[in-house]
Structure 1
Amino acid sequence: MSAVSSSNWDRRSILRAAVGLAVAVPLAACGGNNGRGAGSGSGTQLTQMFHAYGEAGTEQAVKRYAAAYEKANVTTQWITSADYESKLFATLLTKNAPDVFEFHPQIQMVRSGQVADLSDLVDPVREDFNPADITSHTVDGKVYGIRMIDDPQFFFYRPSLFEKARVKVPETLDELIEAAARLTTGKVKGVYLGNDLHAIVNPLIWSAGADTLDAKNEIAYHTPAVVEGLKKMRKLFASGHLLLGAPTDYWDPSSLSQGLCAIQFCGMWAMPQFQKALGDDLGVFPFPKTADSGKPSVYNGGWSMFVNAKGDHVDAAKEYVKWLWIDQKKDQEDWATSYGFHIPPRSSIAARATRLKSGLPAQGVKLFDEFGHFDNIGWTQAMMSATWDVIADCVREDGDPEAALDKCDRAVNRELKKLFG
């Protein structure tokens, strides 16, 4: 789901700063409407923390689910500021820490004992979950976190502009660069990849036939095909056909829907907004293959629910999480499909999600199934930042890709040594 407003954070890339667990920062005010006293339960008082989704009705839905729970009084902190991750990890260090919170799988949270083992909740329904969602939340055979929604990310485009420019849907990065050139007219740029280009780092790697880490938790991204892809991205960046400095970042659909570009990298969550603005003049395609050795890729983002293992009510919090994110299938389907489009991570719910069964949503699901890649729980915030530096050094600037990747390797290997020895 998208961010709270056009001025706010990159909804995917910065909301994983588990490194913040080590930084004690006083918790800023979360706003007056924090949902306290909203639950209908009695006895145990539980607090859950969410970042503010941009889709209308999301806050009301979360509080409606919580109010229906009868075994505890569940209140909601709905964080509307631009630094959800900072507030989350700051408050986890205080007596006001939430019992339940949403985030992304990060191995540091497991190593520090911050998140509870939820294997006993997941095991009875494990076969109903997308196996990749289970893997991305597993450390040493234990599952930490329950996936709530899967968010595939791909390119949205306007077929009418493609037809006018006589452009076909790109299947390679070279074809995307060529299409961007032919689609750029006046104030309309050919393609938009986000203001800092961070969103396309992993797709670029995957589409080169590489990966972030391999099965042994060793570097897998430093390959000749990735170097080739970085050189091509530099060519696109310097071409004048890439939209830069857009009013909103890639997660917001307005760059394409308001005519600033002909192609936009974005997420399936924004599909209803795109359709409302553009009607049937809308299509999707995956990140095209970077080199001959690769194949198209689709990044699967999403959000997961965690239990604070250092809280005062771990068992009660686990019971609530099981009730809402395991037992309440109707609410899970509502959360995935009523406020933007997301893919339910459980096959039994996805099978009955009628909004995703036809038209463009069905195409998005097909791309997800065929080309989807999931987060590696061992790929940390520091490692991500190191790859973002590569983009800064040799795409935004005209540096040597090999030198930039060598620098990245040193940073990533330091982190790998800390985590895995």
Structure 2
Amino acid sequence: MSAMSSNNWDRRSILRATMGLAAAGGLAACGGNTGRSEGGASGKALTQYFHAYGEAGTQEAIKRYAKDFDGANVATQWITGSNFESKLFSALLTGNAPDVFEFHPQLQLIKSGQVAPLDDIINPVKDDFNPADIKSHTVDGKIYGVRMIDDPQFFFYRKSMLEKAGVDVPQTLEELAEAADKLTTDKVKGLFLGNNMVSTNYALVWAAGADQLNASNEIAYHTDEVAAALRLYRKMFTSGHLLLDAPADYWDPSALVQGLTAIQWCGMWAMPVMQKALGDDLGIFPFPAAASGAKPAVYNGGWSMFVNAKGKNVDLAKEYVKWLWIDQKKYQEDWALSYGFHVPPRVSIAESADKLKSGLPAEGVKLFTDYGRFDNINWTQAMITALEEVIADAVRKGVDPQKALDTADKKVNRELKKLFG
């Protein structure tokens, strides 16, 4: 379900962002249908916001779960398009704000009192969640948001294409650039990083041995190694070896499946569709090391459910979130494994997830375990945008990376000052 996350809404910007999907099987229809369920407690109503996942059956599943909740009629707003963040943030300022909504953990939502702490519903099962998911949703000892799915993102590749070109799986960013060159033909591009190339932002920073912020919440992404990685991205961008105009963005598996590219950045959510189309001709690898001594990186996008603390039905909304995302393990398992592959954040569900225990899915889980990195709750939407603009400037427009990073620094520091003084 796509992600990430992200981190942005070209996957779902983002994202993420990823982590939106319009892919793996056709976008479910939206239109004016609010998805209000029949039945439920008469007179009590809740509204939930979801971005339009690309995997077929997702919209129907969410509405089916909601219909089973006896405490209220739950209406689902299924937000299509590439600007879920802006639609959500705009709605939260109005009288028609959703009672619950999916998003990623971001500090400004907590500082502004927009989201309610959920310790009381999570604490009894806290030990059954991936500790990294709990940590990424915790501020001052309080937990905000219930994780629904974890979405590891990495590179998928066509084994036969690499073999034919005599290319080994890249171990460094330099080798990835060389592979893109060798794999490009008059019909196929060597590499697809997404149409605006921002989906790999975090992975690039981490693989260069840096981070978005340090432990003191100061800028940590502005390093010589990150600047060097951006120069290499620029070289790839101007080389003609990248797929830059795919019919669908990186979260959709069609670029690889249709043979438009030999290597594609995507998420584990798309693995079943890719496997069905490509069989054993499919491999995966993490974002390769981009600096001496640095580790490869896997970005863990994913989505969490939040309760609008400024809504009219906060207690009822919490009751619904607890019912669906804490108590109903069958629905949590269905959501994670039936419409694409996602790593269940609940340890007990992940341990019993047979679909992820062998073959390529198991390799994906191992990459997630070995190299997975999670969202930083202190990295906000404005900071996400600032880093995306670095790609636009340094990679697409040819601005010197250090200058592009300087520009981002001003915006990020302004945001950090607002949050931390």
TM-score, normalising length: structure 2: 0.93
Q: Secondary structure at the match of 2:222?
A: coil
Distance 1:39 1:16 in 2: 34
Distance 1:386 1:60 in 2: 35
The yes-or-no answer on 1:79 pairing with 2:79 is: yes
Judging changes above 3 Å, is the alpha-carbon distance between structure 1 residues 12 and 149 closer, same or farther for their aligned structure 2 residues? farther
The yes-or-no answer on 1:11 pairing with 2:25 is: no
The residue type paired with residue 380 of structure 1 is: T
Match of 2:50 in 1: 50
Q: Secondary structure at the match of 1:199?
A: coil
Q: Can you list the C-alpha shifts for 1:304-335, whole angstroms capped at 9, x where unaligned?
A: 10011111111111011111101111110000
Q: CA deviation at 1:90?
A: 2.2
Q: Percent identity?
A: 68
Match of 1:229 in 2: 229
Contact kept, 8 Å, 1:225 with 1:293, in 2: the verdict is: no
Q: CA deviation at 1:266?
A: 0.5
In the TM superposition, structure 1's runs of 4+ consecutive aligned residues that sit over 6 Å from their partners are none
The yes-or-no answer on 1:266 pairing with 2:260 is: no
The residue type paired with residue 250 of structure 1 is: Y
The yes-or-no answer on 1:359 pairing with 2:359 is: yes
The yes-or-no answer on 1:217 pairing with 2:214 is: no
Distance 1:39 1:83 in 2: 32
The residue type paired with residue 182 of structure 1 is: K
Unaligned segments of structure 1, at least 5 residues: 18-29
The residue type paired with residue 133 of structure 1 is: D
Aligned length: 405
Contact kept, 8 Å, 1:43 with 1:71, in 2: the verdict is: no
Match of 1:391 in 2: 391
Judging changes above 3 Å, is the alpha-carbon distance between structure 1 residues 169 and 15 closer, same or farther for their aligned structure 2 residues? closer
Q: CA deviation at 1:222?
A: 1.2
Matches within 5 A, 1:257-296: 257-296=257-296
Q: CA deviation at 1:196?
A: 0.8
Q: CA deviation at 1:12?
A: 5.8
Q: CA deviation at 1:91?
A: 2.1
Unaligned segments of structure 2, at least 5 residues: 4-8, 19-29
The residue type paired with residue 392 of structure 1 is: A
Q: Secondary structure at the match of 1:124?
A: helix
Q: Secondary structure at the match of 1:101?
A: strand
Q: CA deviation at 1:176?
A: 0.5
Contact kept, 8 Å, 1:269 with 1:341, in 2: the verdict is: yes
Q: Can you list the C-alpha shifts for 1:244-297, whole angstroms capped at 9, x where unaligned?
A: 121111111111111111000011111111112211110000000001131100
Q: CA deviation at 1:221?
A: 0.8
The residue type paired with residue 327 of structure 1 is: D
Q: CA deviation at 1:43?
A: 4.7
Distance 1:182 1:154 in 2: 20
Q: Secondary structure at the match of 1:121?
A: helix
Matches within 5 A, 1:139-158: 139-158=139-158
Distance 1:332 1:314 in 2: 22
Q: Which moved more, 1:163-172 or 1:75-84?
A: 75-84
Match of 1:163 in 2: 163
Distance 2:62 2:371 in 1: 31
The residue type paired with residue 241 of structure 2 is: H
Q: CA deviation at 1:362?
A: 0.7
Judging changes above 3 Å, is the alpha-carbon distance between structure 1 residues 315 and 217 closer, same or farther for their aligned structure 2 residues? same
Match of 1:27 in 2: none
Q: Secondary structure at the match of 1:246?
A: coil
Matches within 5 A, 1:159-198: 159-198=159-198
Matches within 5 A, 1:362-373: 362-373=362-373
Judging changes above 3 Å, is the alpha-carbon distance between structure 1 residues 81 and 210 closer, same or farther for their aligned structure 2 residues? closer
Matches within 5 A, 1:20-169: 31-169=31-169
The residue type paired with residue 212 of structure 2 is: T
Match of 1:256 in 2: 256
Match of 2:24 in 1: none
Q: Secondary structure at the match of 1:10?
A: helix
CA RMSD across the alignment: 1.7
Q: Can you list the C-alpha shifts for 1:61-82, whole angstroms capped at 9, x where unaligned?
A: 1111111112222222222344
The residue type paired with residue 192 of structure 1 is: F
The residue type paired with residue 234 of structure 2 is: R
Distance 1:373 1:76 in 2: 30
Q: CA deviation at 1:14?
A: 5.0
Match of 1:25 in 2: none
The yes-or-no answer on 1:380 pairing with 2:363 is: no
Q: Which moved more, 1:73-82 or 1:365-374?
A: 73-82
The residue type paired with residue 367 of structure 2 is: L
Q: Secondary structure at the match of 1:209?
A: coil
Match of 2:247 in 1: 247
Judging changes above 3 Å, is the alpha-carbon distance between structure 1 residues 390 and 287 closer, same or farther for their aligned structure 2 residues? same
Distance 1:213 1:110 in 2: 18
Contact kept, 8 Å, 1:207 with 1:289, in 2: the verdict is: yes
Q: CA deviation at 1:140?
A: 1.3
Match of 2:315 in 1: 315
Q: Secondary structure at the match of 2:89?
A: helix
The residue type paired with residue 381 of structure 1 is: Q
Q: CA deviation at 1:33?
A: 1.6
Judging changes above 3 Å, is the alpha-carbon distance between structure 1 residues 151 and 262 closer, same or farther for their aligned structure 2 residues? same
The residue type paired with residue 188 of structure 1 is: V
Contact kept, 8 Å, 2:169 with 2:285, in 1: the verdict is: yes
